[in-house]
Amino acid sequence: MRFRPVFTPVGCVVLFASLFILIRSLMSRNAYEIVIACFILLSLLITGIIGLWKSIKLKSMEAGWKSPFPLTALIGNEKSLQSTIITGLESNIPFFFRLHFFIKGRFFPSGSKNSCGMSAETSVPRGETSANIKLDFPMSGIFRGEGFCQLRDIFGFYSFYCGNSQQSTLNVRAAPCFGKKTLINAQAGAEDQRNKPSADVERYYMREYTPGDRFRDINWKSSDKIDTLITRISTDNQEKISRIDVYFRNFCAASSLEALWFLDRAKARLAYFLRSLMDSNASLIFDVRSAEKEWEIEDHDDLDEFLEELAGISFVLSRNESAISQKTGDIYVFSTACDTGLQSFLISCNPRPVTLFMIQPGNSNDNEIEILQSNDFISKGINFNPNSFKSGNVKQLNVNANKTDVFYAEIKL
């Protein structure tokens, strides 16, 4: 069990000052100073006894914290609308005391091995059994934190730990980006035609809608007649779909904070690409491949699961890659200027058309550049130390694809 001090720094100063005054006054027989010192020490004693008694009563308190889903990073001076909800708090708190809730842990930018310390604190209003606390991040990544309560007096003398702590791991998605929507027609992907049923087999049957059914399968005409949602289920899926090949290239030799910021912006572009296309064309299926894993994204549930995993994906070292599938259809690639093997990959995709979304280093003179500053960490309660991350200067990468959309990013320490 770790040692948890009861006195705050202010409390220690007051205690030692009072003892010093008491000892000096006894030696000089100064009755006025003796009374003052005894009064302060008696006040400290009474306040400490009340706080200790209440903290023991709150020993079994189960205070929990739950962050919003999805938890999204914020850039620059954006104001957060996300609040982490704290529940299970004790409302009967003695006068001159307040219940404080803390969240402390480590934040791993873009899922890297290096991390930053982070802390957040809120005071619970008297009589309330729940509270809100702001937990914001400047970029995507993983936060592993612990939430716990402290009982503190309003004078700042004591701090008693109380209740049980709760640990949690949060995936922080990249701050959203916006731009022109990519238009994809049926010929852009590999067609997938399912078998048709024979003529003497019923084409479909209907049943009541259940959560998880696709909205496009709802028979609205029949549902309107009986005032109940009815889902049409095909015996064979005769719908022609297109499979879209997407490559997320998270390769880098040395992942500095600048490189991690470029990776974060690549994640944001990929998320926007997938969501905008899925909203406009529900018949698309995305086969997404990163350096370590593959996903098949067919609906919004699959997309949410993928975006949660994407938040924690970091760089890996470049290596020999498997051959590109010889299927037909376009290939969509998301990469950064850190990807030194990108040009070789693009050549291996031939003759399939490639659309490249590229994050390049820029400067403040570029239009629509996305900037990350060290103040973005500090303002969000993150103890940012540039020395804990590898230094590096990423240079622009010259590559050729059938179509290239370039986006610029910069970091200012």
pLDDT for 6-27, tens place per residue?
888 999 999 999 999 999 999 9
**Residue bearing the bigger pLDDT, 369 or 332:** 332
Q: Is the pLDDT of residue 200 over 50?
A: no
Cα–Cα distance for residue pair 229/223, rounded to 1 Å = 5
Averaged over 328-353, what is the pLDDT? 89
Neighbours of 395 (CB within 10 A): 10
Residue-number span of the structural domain to which 209 is assigned: 197-234
* Mean pLDDT on 265-280: 92
Helices 257-280 and 300-311, packing angle to 10 deg: 180
Number of domains observed in the structure of the chain: 4
Task: Give the whole-angstrom CA distance, residue 54 versus residue 52.
Answer: 6
Is 45 in the same domain as 78?
no
pTM for the predicted model, two decimal places: 0.78
pLDDT of residue 202: 45
pLDDT of 173 over the 90 cut: yes
CA dihedral 295, 301, 304, 306 (to 10 degrees): -10
Pairing of strands 97-109, 64-66: unpaired
Q: Can you give the pLDDT at residue 198?
A: 41
Whether residues 46 and 71 share a domain: the answer is no
- Structure tokens that stand for 374 in this block: 């060290």
Is 230 in the same domain as 246? Answer: no
Q: What is the mean pLDDT of residues 227-254?
A: 74
pLDDT for res 388: 66
In a domain, 178, yes or no: no
Phi, psi at residue 86, to the nearest 5°? Answer: -110, 125
Tell me the pLDDT of the chain averaged across its residues. Answer: 83
pLDDT by residue (tens digit) across 106-151?
A: 999 988 888 889 998 999 888 888 888 888 899 999 999 999 999 9
Least confident residue range of 89-103, 180-194, 393-407 = 180-194
Both 396 and 279 in one domain: the answer is yes
Considering the domain architecture, whether residues 127 and 255 belong to the same structural domain is answered as no
